Amino acid sequence: MQSELILMAHPAFGVLAILAAVWVFAEAITNNATSRGRLRMMSLACAGLVWLSYLVGGYWYVVYYAADKALIKAGPWPFAHGFVMEVKEHIFFSMLLLSSYLPIAVFSLTAGKQALKPVVLWVSAWIVVLGLTMEGAGAFISMGAKVALLATQSTGDTP
Amino acid sequence: MSDTGIGNYNRAFALSFAITSLLSALLVVLKEQNEDTVLAWMKAATGHHWITHGVLVVVVFILLGWLLAQTKLGSRLTGNGLSAVISGSVVLSGVVIAGYFI
């Protein structure tokens, strides 16, 4: 039960981070005096949520994933690990660094460095794109485990 | 040197992101191609290769950002130029990683 809750916290933090990045993108378009506080707060929230998603997901991956990995690799969708998980776990680092950089750019933008506006827009947009890619990849991996379990049930094998 | 209005630390850490992201993608290929040496060392260092990978990525990002802030590398980059560097790195590192495992 505990491992499942940890696993669900990973995409939940990820979705909230995506929403925060969308918020940063929208506020950066206007970037006026009233939006600056929200911009700063949301950029910090985005970074914090991506780090939480990374730490929670990483803990689950290191401690619990081995059994799922063996199951997926023996099932009908081995690519759910061999391609999707391998790509997901490594591209995540780009998202982690982008979200860590986002507050640096946002705090400078809101302090008057208007030249950073396209940087903030692109960085927040990439966090949204990468975040949605991670969410989709997670769904593929879950389905890889599900079809593997269904396959063992239909053949009567124990997983 | 012209001031493009980016700021020293913004330029430095944006470039650090671009370089670190690419290095991370290359490390994926390197460790997967050298399981007995690089991957084995990464597993031994922290108990799991992915933890070591993450620690290296974060440490390199911070150190490289600090080092680049001491230089003038990329000081002529505008906001659009820096955005292109960041986007190019995201796409290229993604292509390297996905291309390796495909």
Number of domains in chain B: 1
What are the chain B neighbours of A98 within 8 Å (beta carbons)?
Answer: 17, 86, 90
Q: A105 touching B, CB under 8 A? A: yes
Cβ pair A123, A116 in contact under 8 A: no
> Is residue B33 included in any domain, yes or no?
yes
pLDDT (tens, 9 = 90+) of chain B, 102 residues, equals: 446 788 889 999 999 999 999 999 999 999 999 999 999 999 999 999 999 999 999 999 999 999 999 998 888 899 999 999 999 999 999 999 999 999
Which ipTM value was assigned to this complex?
Answer: 0.92
CA distance B38 to A17: 33
A18-31 residue pLDDT tens? 999 999 999 999 98
Nearest to A47, CA basis, from A116, A99, A107, A119: A99
In this structure, what is the dihedral angle of CA atoms A39, A40, A41, A42, given to the nearest 10 degrees? 50
Query: B19-33 burial by CB neighbour count: b if 16+ within 10 A, else e?
Result: bbbbbbbebbeebee
Q: A94 touching B, CB under 8 A? A: yes
CA distance B83 to B87: 6
B97: domain range?
Answer: 8-101
